[in-house]
């Protein structure tokens, strides 16, 4: 189903299903005698969602899309490191936007005094909180679950839940920006900037302006369908011209570092894939933005 203004979802439909798909891939990458990740909660959450294809993927009963385990390891490790490096530097406010089935508040080793804010639609937040609580899983930091639609006034809601814009913060927007219209992406980045004191950091994907097109989404979806997937990304992405996040943030005074896909793979000891899907991504990769001290 294509996106519409004000649309909503759960973890089995629309954009929510992509969060379950990502969690299933994390679970798959955490399996086997030589796991690439250690996410002990992903399979539990995916199974609770109850979509057969994702459950089978999480349990290792069907194969991940070609190269999917390494891709998920590269992606997850990048965002893990962005947050743990910030925490090691003294940042104690962590914000995970569109948290979905993200388990970093539970599985990462956080320093004392760290608060992890998770933002997502209320039904998504309630589901994850309930499933993990019922299983006796407790966060490894002070977790503040904020049920809010990012199209609403989420900055005010975040502040009401204890976020202090006068203190440095670390943000991740993982797998989020392409699901926002171009103007909504810019507003999100501006809101992050308005809430970010000097010493703050933001990690997200860097998208080559010529990549992540409808053709790429169609090809990826076709490949996924050959493995039993049902998500059609071409119906969920917002196509059209958009300002690259790094350019928008740089104009707002952030210091930008871009890690290419090839370098991200190499940093994790993997040989970058050379198939058609990767070539279609062009110079895409991962972005770190820092708000320097004055």
Question: How is the chain split into domains, by residue range?
Answer: 10-64, 69-290
Taking 60 as the threshold, does the pLDDT of residue 1 lie above it?
no
Of 282, 175, 186, residue with least CA distance to 243: 186
Domain spanning 69-290, CATH class:
alpha beta
pTM of the model: 0.91
Of 61, 46, 157, residue with least CA distance to 103 = 46
Confidence of residue 279 (pLDDT cuts 50, 70, 90): low
Higher pLDDT, 45 or 216: 45
Three-class DSSP category at 84: helix
Q: Is the pLDDT of residue 207 over 60?
A: yes
| CA dihedral for 17, 183, 118, 141, sign (positive or negative) | positive
Look at the block and give the residue holding tokens 């904020």.
146
Distance CA 103, CA 41 (A): 7
Per-residue pLDDT reduced to its tens digit, 245-270: 999 999 999 999 999 988 999 999 99
Residue 276 — very low, low, confident or very high, per pLDDT cuts 50/70/90?
low
Residue 61: burial class (beta carbons within 10 Å; 0-12, 13-18, 19+): exposed
| Cβ(117)–Cβ(93) below 8 Å | yes
Kind of pairing between the strands at 170-173 and 255-260? unpaired
Q: Are 271 and 265 in contact (CB under 8 A)?
A: yes
| CA 244/CA 207 separation, integer angstroms | 7
């Amino acid at each position: 189903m294509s996106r519409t203004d004000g649309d909503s979802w759960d973890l089995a439909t629309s954009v929510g299903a992509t969060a379950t798909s990502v969690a299933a891939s994390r679970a798959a990458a955490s399996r086997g005698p030589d796991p690439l990740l250690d996410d002990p909660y992903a399979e539990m959450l995916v199974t609770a969602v109850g979509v057969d294809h994702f459950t089978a993927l999480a349990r290792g009963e069907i194969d991940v899309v070609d190269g999917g385990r390494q891709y998920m390891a590269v992606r997850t490790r990048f965002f893990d490191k962005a947050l743990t490096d910030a925490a090691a530097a003294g940042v104690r406010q962590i914000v995970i936007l569109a948290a979905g089935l993200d388990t970093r508040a539970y599985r990462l080793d956080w320093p004392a005094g760290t608060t992890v804010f998770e933002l997502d639609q209320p039904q998504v937040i309630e589901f994850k909180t309930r499933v993990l609580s019922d299983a006796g899983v407790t966060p490894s930091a002070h977790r503040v679950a904020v049920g809010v639609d990012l199209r609403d006034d989420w900055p005010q809601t975040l502040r009401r839940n204890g976020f202090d814009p006068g203190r440095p913060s670390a943000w991740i927007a993982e797998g989020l920006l392409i699901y926002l219209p171009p103007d909504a992406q810019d507003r999100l980045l501006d809101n992050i900037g308005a809430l970010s004191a000097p010493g703050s950091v933001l990690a997200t994907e860097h998208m080559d302006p010529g990549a992540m097109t409808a053709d790429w989404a169609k090809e990826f979806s076709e490949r996924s369908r050959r493995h039993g997937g049902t998500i059609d990304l071409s119906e969920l992405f917002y196509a059209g011209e958009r300002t690259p996040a790094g350019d928008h943030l740089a104009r707002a005074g952030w210091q930008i570092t871009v890690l290419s896909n090839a370098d991200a793979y190499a940093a994790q000891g993997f040989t970058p894939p050379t198939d058609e899907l990767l070539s279609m991504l062009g110079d895409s990769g991962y972005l770190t933005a820092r708000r320097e001290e004055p």
